[in-house]
Structure 1
Amino acid sequence: MDVDVAILGAGLAAGAAIEPLRAAGLTLAVLDKSRGVGGRTATRRIAGIPVDHGAQFFTVRSADFAETVRRWISEGTCFEWCSGFHRFEDGAVSSPRDDEIHSRYACPRGMTSLAKDCFRSVNVLHDHLVTSIRMDANDFLTECENGQIIRSKAILSTLPFPQGQKLLGSFFDEPNRFALEFIRVDPCLAAIVELKGASPEWKGIQTSQDDVLTWLGADFSKRTPAPLRRFVVLHGSSAFSQEHLEGDLSAAGRLMLEHAGRICPTLREADLVQVHRWRYAKVSQPLSDIPYWRFLNSAPLYMAGDAFGRGNVESAWLSGATAGVQLARELQSAGAVRLGTTRRGSDSPSTQ
């Protein structure tokens, strides 16, 4: 398959890059190892009820992202969930602090709705695990585990940074390695539990004073109409998640639920439903001063995602959108567009 741009990953950063790249008349191949889109803006369905086990919410600080969020709100994709979260500090749960009051947004059908909106007119190549990338003259050859090879003039990697770093290892010469070595991404275990007692008054609890948990989220409060079963999502601390990353997930989940019961007594009677392992979950050290990375001394090779900016959902979207604009400009100025203004081929409308 020959395209202008191969995009690695089908998360929110990749989705944000789609519009400027297609507007420039570029042909695309979006490759993802999974069967769905969204990456860490992930939603599972349990008994038909959506449950966010990845990113729990998002905030809006930039004008560009705000414009997109206004459209999402008007279309029912997302809504203002709350204006602040409770805190667990000094052994007690307290109300949101005044200096932390601002809008937090969520999606009634799950956080993966954001990526689904971005990819609604793009045919993502699912079950395409990329195993190697090499150069052939001025083109990139991206090889997948299933044997398919994508030839492209450019690559945009939106994979979690450690995965992209490993895959693109041969391109990490000294200047690139030095610039990106600061980035750190931590793991996170996510436990989904079912509430049996009274519903809590909070939408979410954040804490840095528990050695097991950092987050308790009333996922059921995002759903309209109110679901028949009420699920709460627990996120483990980086240290706890790292310690139990390769161990028994059920045992780790029980420890998480035990600590949740200490923070919120109504969770003492909750049932553990599922535990998910996020190997690359939270960007603890992003590159905050640049929106993406264009590899030095190479053909058009870009990295984008939440490793750039503030390390959150908005940063992922802004990074992808900005990288998409710049990559389109570079290919157009170099006269590298393969198929002029056509938008058919690998980015044809999907039936998903």
Structure 2
Amino acid sequence: MSKLLIVGTGIKGAASAALLRQHMPPNKSVFMWDKARGPGGGNYIHYFVPTGGRMSTKRCAENPAITADLGAQYITLSKEYSSKRQSLYSELQSQGILKPMQGKVEGPNNFDLPGAQHFVTPDGSSSLVKYFLQKSGAYIKYQHQVSEISFENGSPVSVTTHEDITEDFDIVVLTLPVPQMLQLRGSLHDYVGNHPDVKKKLLDVTYSSRYALALFFPPQTDLKYPWCVKYVSDNPCVRYIAIDQARRGEVSPSQGLSLVVHTSVPYGLAHLEDDLNSVRDEILSHLSGILPELPTPLSVVPHRWRYSQVHQAYEGTPGCVVLSRDPLIILAGDAFSKSTFDGCIDSAEAVLKAVMNQLGSS
């Protein structure tokens, strides 16, 4: 076995690739395919850093020096994981990827549990994904959106993109949202259909949806709030607000600031197919009621998170599912664990175990 493909360059795929590179023999090659357009582009709109999933950093079109994390806002190391992951968190802090969050969190939330530690990414959440991608040494190809996966017992896996690019691999790991996995054509689709127990568990996986707004403010703007993160419990639309630079501990009004707003999940689900600009205007209307003194932004960028977080995970949360052993095809990601950073690492560790078991038995 010489070629392994990971589909998806988000945090799940990147962490899996980094772990595999660390433990696999050097003659085994790791490839990664993603539908993003490449550095400087992204999956959705211009200026996204193409790291997939919810770890996306947006740059202001008018002033690219001003950034905003539209997805994951901070990483919580719970007491449950404090000893298991201490070395990883120490490594990420020593490399400047993570640092403890210092600002005040206001409002009721489910993350301030006893023994929990909060961390932020000073260079944006995308830097965390980039770190793992760099460690992986993987051969990354962008603009490779997989449309079909076919295989026969004992033969390589044939992977085809929407652009009709086809390549064979010995091992394939899918880290896409489950609905996108189920849309793939080829014998993979037939294989899932012939295993009703697995298919039912995949169909039972559900996701939360929400909207995010990035408000960019010109230099010299001063957002005078006592918090860096504010949770809102009494609004039908807005659930979360953050001053992005204050959350990272790097407030510099002379360089411009950004405000990030997340809607509640019920609002996101109810308006999932609405016009994006109409949703933007409605969110801004609610925001003005919560922060009536908010200055006029330089620009506002809305984003729809169709697969925001896993609401109901794959039964038993196994970390990954080995769909086929010969050839080895693995389904992985937070759908098989939990929608947290540590949940993604759990999935990556499960992928590593499955691959190493296969290599050891071959």
> Which bracket does the TM-score occupy, shorter chain normalised?
0.7 to 0.9
Tell me, in whole angstroms, the C-alpha distance in 2 between the residues paired with 1:303 and 1:205. 36
> Is contact 2:334–2:340 with CA below 8 Å preserved after alignment?
yes
SS of 1:295's equivalent in the other structure is strand
What amino acid is aligned across from residue 322 of structure 1 in structure 2?
A
Structure 1, residues 19-71: CA drift from partner, whole Å, max 9, x if none?
33222122222010012334321111222222101111111232443322211
The within-5 A match list for 1:139-158 is: 139-158=156-175
Tell me, in whole angstroms, the C-alpha distance in 2 between the residues paired with 1:33 and 1:97. 32
Deviation at 1:142, TM superposition (A): 0.6
For the pair 1:230 / 2:257, whether they are aligned, the reply is yes
Deviation at 1:237, TM superposition (A): 2.0
Tell me, in whole angstroms, the C-alpha distance in 2 between the residues paired with 1:175 and 1:124. 34
Q: 1:181 to 1:207 in 2, by over 3 A?
A: farther
Bigger mean CA offset, 24-33 vs 306-315: 306-315
Give the TM-score, by structure 2 length.
0.81
The within-5 A match list for 1:74-223 is: 74-82=94-102, 85-87=105-107, 99=113, 102-120=116-134, 121-137=137-153, 138-167=155-184, 168-172=188-192, 173-194=195-216, 198-221=223-246, 222=248
Q: 1:289 to 1:144 in 2, by over 3 A?
A: closer
For the pair 1:5 / 2:16, whether they are aligned, the reply is no
> Is contact 2:103–2:228 with CA below 8 Å preserved after alignment?
no
For the pair 1:295 / 2:297, whether they are aligned, the reply is no
Aligned partner of 2:30 in structure 1 is 28
Aligned partner of 2:357 in structure 1 is 329
Aligned partner of 2:42 in structure 1 is none
Tell me, in whole angstroms, the C-alpha distance in 2 between the residues paired with 1:298 and 1:263. 56
Q: 1:83 to 1:273 in 2, by over 3 A?
A: closer
Give the TM-score, by structure 1 length.
0.83
Structure 2 residue ranges without an equivalent (≥5): 39-49
Tell me, in whole angstroms, the C-alpha distance in 1 between the residues paired with 2:196 and 2:324. 10
Deviation at 1:197, TM superposition (A): 5.5
- Count of residues paired in the alignment: 327
Higher RCO (CA-CA < 8 Å; seq separation 6+) = 1
For the pair 1:317 / 2:345, whether they are aligned, the reply is yes
SS of 2:336's equivalent in the other structure is coil
> What is the identity percentage for the equivalent residue pairs of Structure 1 and Structure 2?
21
Tell me, in whole angstroms, the C-alpha distance in 2 between the residues paired with 1:148 and 1:43. 29
Structure 1, residues 304-339: CA drift from partner, whole Å, max 9, x if none?
111133322221122123212322221x1332xxxx
Q: CA RMSD in A?
A: 2.7
> Is contact 2:6–2:17 with CA below 8 Å preserved after alignment?
no
SS of 1:175's equivalent in the other structure is helix
Structure 1 residue ranges without an equivalent (≥5): 90-95, 336-352
Q: 1:244 to 1:220 in 2, by over 3 A?
A: same
What amino acid is aligned across from residue 184 of structure 1 in structure 2?
T
For the pair 1:281 / 2:281, whether they are aligned, the reply is no
